[in-house]
Chain A
Amino acid sequence: MAEYLLYAENLVKRYGPKVALNGAHLRLSGGKIIGLLGPNGSGKTTLIKILNGLLTEDSGIVLIDGKRPGVETKKIVAYLPDNTYLNTYMTVRQIVEYFKDFYADFREELAYEMLSRLGIEPELKLKTLSKGNKEKVCLILTMSRNAKLYVLDEPIAGVDPAARDYVIETIINNHNPDSTVLISTHLISDIEQVLDEVVFLKDGITVLHKSVDEIREEHGKSVDELFREVFRW
């Protein structure tokens, strides 16, 4: 367990009669970019919420850097949810201040640099930004942290292809090279080229965890092709 940055075993989560996670597991080491892949409803977001302490698992265990999700793990995990969570009455500058206040690893200069490249004025209120720009601000805030583990939930879903390139570029260029980036998505072809490993989640169960090179060698297929095969209706 200790050798893994993220260790999750036998995770079970039910929403009433619906089983979202049915014994999922995850073992991630440091310094990798990992794709958490699965169709809609496969349990990706549930798993990510449990890792971040936003959901309580019914059974199973999660350890991040050897600790249960809590104050200590939140100091080293940078999380990007799949929805905009910002308090929209704040200005961009105020939300940057907020992150700087609470996260010791927050890189303020980097945040402002990324915002200026996008042409987002720090004095603008978040509610005046377009949906796409709000999402970009969220991404910038997350990637401005010098975290050990980045957990990004569907960062490229719902954005146009040009914006997808921006998102992927931002992730690649700004994460700490020793850290692990866990990216959940079902848009594999867009992200395949940056992944080191992939985890397939199907009906709340981890059905595959391999490196991208292994998949290409063993299956003679791209991740996208293997995904279509595994998740064929």
Chain B
Amino acid sequence: MVKKLFKYEFRSYLRTLIPVNLILLAIALMGRIVQFFESDSIAYGLVFGSSVFMLCAAIIVAYLLTVIMVVVRFYKNLFTSEGYLSFTLPVTPVQHILTKLLTAVLFQVITTAAVFLSLMIMTSGELLVEIFKAAGYLFADLFSEVMGWHLVLFIPEYLLALVIGVAYQFLLYYACISLGQRANKNRVLMAVVCYFAYYMIVQVLSTVLMVLLTVIELDFSFLETFFESLGLGALHILIWFYLIASAGLCTLWFFITHKTIKTRLNLE
């Protein structure tokens, strides 16, 4: 069933996001063509400047539309009239949520790949080749001089952190939309309120924590000694701390979404 759900989910994203990504690539291509007429004239400067501006705008729009698509698709497919069909399919809420999350993350990756490709086109690859070269030298230096085999671990850890970060954000949207559904009226508004309330709580808690740490003046020198003794291994600990904390929050958002759909579904 997950395979079938994924097929239809993928198709619905494809309809919206593939044209957006194609437009992004077309803008990059136009920007590249403009460069063939390079000159010192003001007109060229204006046209080139505009093409760079358009590409930047297209990149922002592509990412923005991906996020909008993730939110709208989840809400519309589950909590509007389409939900009458979605929730009468012989499919569990877990399968619904996971399929939607998987497709959303996949399309974020596709959009990132399109952005990357558009930059390659715009710079004819030259800039990126230089960046890659520089990164290559840097990595080689880091590998041989400083990090050694730690680097081999840092790359997958960093990629994992990126994916979990995206999943965390999307699951947070899902949880807020689901919480909004618990209200009797103004459910979309309640979802938005939940989202901002969460960020306000995080802000307040982190401010309180910072103030407390300053006031109490705890002695953290033992941590310093501990991390110093570990050397680069300390970085792995920090990354894994982030990964575990994010995964924990992902589980919480998933649990809230699932619980609402499973036990508090109230389609209007």
Contact = CB atoms under 8 A, between A and B. Distances in A.
Whether A and B are associated in the same complex: the answer reads: yes
A103 B4 contact: no
A147 to B, nearest CB: 11
Contacts of A52: 87-88
B91 A54 contact: no
Contact of B267 (A55, A72, A77, A84): A55
A101 B264 CA distance: 28
Nearest to B266: A55
B1 A102 contact: yes
A81 B84 contact: yes
B110 to A, nearest CB: 20
A62 to B, nearest CB: 14
- Chain B at the A interface: SS class: loop
Interface in A93-107: 98, 101-103
A74 interface: yes
- Interface centre among B7, B85, B87, B267, by most chain A C-beta atoms within 10 angstroms, is B85
B81 A83 contact: yes
A71 interface: yes
B266 A102 contact: no
B8 interface: yes
Contacts of B1: 102
Contact of A53 (B4, B8, B85, B88): B88
A72 B89 CA distance: 10
Contacts of B265: 53-56
Interface in B1-33: 1, 4, 7-8, 12, 15
Contacts of B91: 71, 74, 102
Interface in A183-197: none
A102 B267 contact: no
A8 B188 CA distance: 32
B264 A79 contact: no
Interface string A18-60: 0000000000000000000000000000000100111110000
A81 B88 CA distance: 10
A74 B89 contact: yes
A75 B92 CA distance: 12
B266 A85 contact: no
Given A55-B265, A55-B267, 12 more contacts: A52-B87, A52-B88, A53-B265, A54-B87, A54-B88, A55-B266, A79-B88, A83-B84, A84-B81, A89-B15, A101-B4, A101-B7
In the A-B complex, list the 8 residue pairs whose CB atoms are closest, starting with the nearest: A85-B84, A74-B90, A81-B84, A54-B267, A75-B90, A85-B81, A85-B85, A101-B4
23 contacts: A52-B87, A52-B88, A55-B265, A55-B266, A56-B263, A56-B265, A71-B90, A71-B91, A71-B92, A72-B90, A74-B90, A75-B90, A77-B88, A85-B84, A85-B85, A87-B82, A101-B4, A101-B7, A101-B8, A102-B1, A102-B4, A102-B89, A103-B90
Interface of B: 1, 4, 7-8, 12, 15, 81-85, 87-92, 184, 263-267
